[in-house]
Structure 1
Amino acid sequence: MVRGKTQLKRIENTSSRQVTFSKRKSGLLKKAFELSVLCDAEVGLIIFSTSGKLYEFSSSNINKTIERYQRNAKNLETRNKANQDNLQKMKEEVVSMSKKIEFLEVSKRKLLGDCVGSCSVDDLQQIEEQLEKSLSNIRERKNLLFKQKIEQMKEEERTLIEENAKLRERFEKQPPPRLSTTLQLAPRGISQVETELFIGPPEPQSNG
């Protein structure tokens, strides 16, 4: 015979309720003992019946187990409180950042010329000062880049001049080239004549 599933609700009959309590209490205490032995866990179990009778099980000392539980519960409460405080701070920071982003978006649109219809004279004056300051910074940056580029080009020019001077000095130290040609005369019976052509200033004549 298959037993039906017991509904989880209060048993109205007193006798049946007492029998169920006795059976399930014994099974719960047995499971607690098995858990402590099989898993080497510190287990503490406290049961109060309807009449107020106490049933308990502890794998060590029930008072020490309760003290350990209280310490851990207190630490857990402290951590939860710290987490809640951090969460609240993060929410506040998110709200603050959202407001800053919204303000920057509005300021950017105004600087671009949008949404200025509702601006007062003071607001327009402030926008104008911001634009003038931005233009001044842009001009300073542009002039600095120009100066850096000019210095770079001057340095490249100096390098080229030095390399050109070195090449000229090396060329002047080399001896002038000599060209040797052989002339072959076409008429029969006349031997070949070899001449040397010299390019450059004439060599000094030796006396004697």
Structure 2
Amino acid sequence: MAAAAAVGGGRRRGGRREMRRIEDATSRQVTFSKRRKGLLKKASELSVLCDAEVALLVFSPRGRFFHFASAPDLEDTIDRYISHTEEAAANKKPGELTAHKMKIQAETIATEIGTVEAYTRKMQGEDLESCSLQELNDLEMQLEKSLSSIRLHKAS
């Protein structure tokens, strides 16, 4: 996690170093170790100085797990986080749909539009070759109902 964002010793821009991956594996590992220790120390300091509940999870590039928790039990903090995110999701307004939900909704609407367009074409006498006998009978009944309704409206 931290290794990917480590300072790569690149060119300076405006007094800051360009952030990029460190190519040399040994240098990358040394930087990860130092930065990890510093990050864990900062998390501890934030917890003590500000009386904040802090949890930090770090997975090394090799898959080793490092963590810090200011609460006596890291799982309690994780449970609190999960509860908070579930509450936040429940409190979202309908207009705050995620991109994924919006895509699914758009696909559903597109399917419904296609179905309505196909039905409309069939009601107009187009694309009837693909209809079963039952569908043709249903279309005939619907057209007869529509025709009766039109005649009643016309007579009024």
**Which structure carries more relative contact order (alpha carbon 8 Å, separation 6+)?**
2
Alignment TM-score, normalising by the size of structure 2:
0.49
Q: Which has the larger radius of gyration?
A: 1
Alignment TM-score, normalising by the size of structure 1:
0.37
